[in-house]
Amino acid sequence: MASTPEPTYQTLQKDEMFETRQYTPQLAADVQLTGPDATMSDAFRILAGYIFKEYPTGAIGMTAPVTVQNTQKIGMTAPVTTSASANTVFMRFYLPERYTLKTLPMPEDTRIQIVELPARRVAVVRFSGWLSAAKVATYEAKLREWMAQHAMKAAGPAETQGYDAPWVLPWWRRNEIWVPVAE
Instruction: Report the predicted TM-score, pTM, of the whole model to 2 decimal places.
Output: 0.86
The 10s digit of each residue's pLDDT in 45-98 is 999 999 999 998 899 999 999 999 876 444 434 333 323 446 789 999 999 999
Left, alpha or beta for 177 (phi > 0: left; psi -120 to 50: alpha)?
A: beta
Per DSSP, the residues of the chain read -TTS----EEEEEEETTEEEEEEPPEEEEEEEEEETT--HHHHHHHHHHHHTS--TT------S-EEEEEEEEEEE-SSTT-EEEEEEEEEEEEPPTT--TTTSPPPSSTTEEEEEEPPEEEEEEEE-S---HHHHHHHHHHHHHHHHHTT--B-S--EEEE-S-TTS-GGG--EEEEEEB--
The 10s digit of each residue's pLDDT in 112-170 is 999 999 999 999 999 999 988 999 999 999 999 999 999 999 999 999 999 998 889 99
> Which class for 182: exposed (0-12), middle (13-18), buried (19 or more C-beta within 10 A)?
exposed
The 10s digit of each residue's pLDDT in 25-47 is 999 999 999 988 888 999 999 99
